Amino acid sequence: MTTPLPAAPDPLDPNNRRVPNKELLVYSIGSIASGYSWTMMALVNPIFNMELKVSLVWLGIALAINRVIDALTDLIIGYWSDRVVTRWGRRRPLILLGGLLMAFCYGLMWLFPRHMSEMGFLLWYGIVSVFFYVGTTLFGTGYWALGVELTSGYHERTRVVAWRAYVGAIVGLTTPWFLWVVYHKAWFPDPVTGVRWLGGTVALIIAAASVPVAIFCRERYAAVVAYHRQHISFVRAIQVTFTNREFLRLTGVGLLMMASMTLFEQFGYYINFFYVFGGDKSAATIVTGVGGNIGWGCGLAGIPLIQWVSKRLGKHVAVRLALLWMILGCALKWWCYTPALPWLQLVIPFFYSIGIAAYFTMIPSMTADVIDTDELVTGERREAMFNAVGNLVGKIASAGAVAATGFIMTMTGFVVEKGGDQTVETFTRMRFMYSFASAAVITGALLVVWRYPLTRERLLDVQAQLAQRRAAENAGNTGVAPTPQS
């Protein structure tokens, strides 16, 4: 006997789609694990390059290789997760295994023997990071897809992402002070000892934040998956995903944003340490910490503001405004990062942080809407595959950007051994990359999303068709999967 499909919620009645606060809170705790996993990148260059003197070029190449491997595992795990049926569900096993693996590798990353050669440090970083990124793929695939399954409501999806952002803000409150902790001489004899204690602490937090999601959250589309197991091939699944026009637009925006944040944001650490503060790392980390906390507050304040704009003007308009605000913030970096007024840089979070918080609130919500349009075409729920394909593009872009960062930094004339004694021309090139070049890339993202076609009205029409289809299947219950629309 075929398991009846759950009736699709009425797209005109948002009260049927509101996620209970308790369930939403448990799910949102996972954002702490996800957020802290990203902090490893902020520690790699200061420790491996500034302290251990590993070449930026070689670090960039190693990370680029790992990100390509990571992107390929995304596809495999995403395809498998959409189709597997276990007693624990499709997503929760990935969340549990991935959370524990990335926690273990986060702590292990900083336990290298101290007296290795440059190549030894590089190999240690490369090997441990491979397993770390496998863990982030397992966790991220399950966690993101589970969030999409929580609701089908147009604005409720934004609420889910907003809750996730609010709880994840704990990460934003603490991470700006990571470098200050690592370089705090009163606590640790050297930065390597500091990063080992910090890494172990973060590892425990990642594990503690990921386990409750796997244990207490429940999945809603198991019956849909069991009914619709049409076994689209792996290659065909990728091809169909890339034919979704709305998804291609969002992926293009994400690609450019990832390139901007990965390629140019690393310049900020070096500009602050060596240009603004002349090599005084202790003073630089204090301002970085204060700026991070201001950015944290601005980001939190920006979330309800962007929700308000989204409800009245639509998600696509909210994203456009967020990107415009970020572009202005990037351009202001040229004037606000100056040794004459080191604290002037604290103006930037009021622009850049609000914009980036709004962007990361709206894009996941918009991607969840796209998955409904895909179900109408394919007859399948493919949350994990969309996440995987998006990650594939983003991580390949990130890999290229990270690899290019070392080369571009070298091309500016920067030499780490000189510290704050770089030439004026070198600092000028670095500041241009950090401000105007970054703004130009985000402008490209704004152009891509300018005429986004999936409005609230169109999504309600799609969900109404899905509701009719599921109602017919429940009434017939013939055990024959519906024919996908062309």
**152 and 372 in contact (C-beta within 8 Å)?**
yes
Please report, for the chain, the start and end positions of each structural domain, with discontinuous segments joined by +.
21-453
Which tops the pLDDT comparison, 93 or 380? 93
- What pLDDT is recorded for position 231? 62
Q: Give the separation between CA 198 and CA 182, rounded to whole angstroms.
A: 7
Residue 477's pLDDT is 54
Mean pLDDT of 166-192: 78
Confidence at residue 475, expressed as pLDDT on a 0 to 100 scale: 65
pLDDT at residue 121 greater than cutoff 60:
yes
Quote the CA–CA distance of 172 and 300 in Å, as a whole number: 10
pLDDT tens for residues 15-56?
Answer: 445 777 788 888 888 888 888 877 777 777 777 777 778 777
User: In the numeric block, which tokens belong to residue 478?
Assistant: 């013939």
Tell me the pTM: 0.66
Taking a C-beta distance cutoff of 8 angstroms, is the pair 9, 157 a contact? no
CA dihedral 144→196→396→233, nearest 10 degrees, is -50
Quote the pLDDT of residue 150: 74
CA distance 443 to 162: 25
- State yes or no: pLDDT of 87 exceeds 60: yes
What pLDDT is stored for residue 70 in this prediction?
Answer: 75
Which of 221-225, 293-297, 377-381 is modeled with the greatest confidence? 293-297
Rounded CA separation 395/42 (Å): 17
Q: Which helix (H) or strand (E) holds 255?
A: helix 245-264
Mean pLDDT across 250-254: 86
pLDDT of residue 473: 65
pLDDT, tens digit, 9 for 90 and up, residues 344-371: 999 988 887 777 777 778 888 888 888 8
Instruction: Read off the pLDDT of residues 311-351 as tens digits, 9 standing for 90 and up.
Output: 888 888 888 988 999 899 899 999 999 999 999 999 988 88
**Angstrom distance (rounded) from CA 388 to CA 32:** 21
Q: State the burial class of residue 392 (Cβ atoms within 10 Å of its Cβ: 0-12, 13-18, 19+).
A: buried
The stretch 371-388 carries a mean pLDDT of: 78
| Of 173 and 341, more confident | 341
Answer yes or no: are the C-beta atoms of 3 and 227 closer than 8 Å. yes
pLDDT score of 170 more than 70:
yes
Q: Is the pLDDT of residue 262 over 90?
A: no
Mean pLDDT of 437-465: 87
Mean confidence (pLDDT) of the chain: 79
pLDDT attached to residue 12: 35
Alpha carbon distance 277, 261 (integer Å): 23
CB 388 within 8 A of CB 72: no
pLDDT in the model for residue 220: 67
For 283-311, write each residue's pLDDT tens digit: 887 888 788 788 878 887 888 888 888 88
Name the band, by pLDDT with cuts 50, 70 and 90, for residue 2: very low
Rounded mean pLDDT, 236-260: 83
Are the beta carbons of 206 and 37 closer than 8 angstroms? yes
The pLDDT value given to residue 223: 47
Q: How many CA atoms lie within 13 A of 101 on its CB side?
A: 19
Structure tokens at 405: 């960062």
Judged against a pLDDT cut of 60, whether residue 224 lies above it is answered with no
Q: What local confidence, expressed as pLDDT, does residue 474 receive?
A: 63
- The larger pLDDT score, comparing residue 12 to residue 114, is at 114
Q: What percent of the chain has pLDDT over 90?
A: 9
Under CATH, to which class is 21-453 assigned?
mainly alpha
**At a CB cut-off of 8 Å and minimum separation 6, what does 291 contact?**
176, 345, 346, 348, 349
pLDDT for 282 equals 79
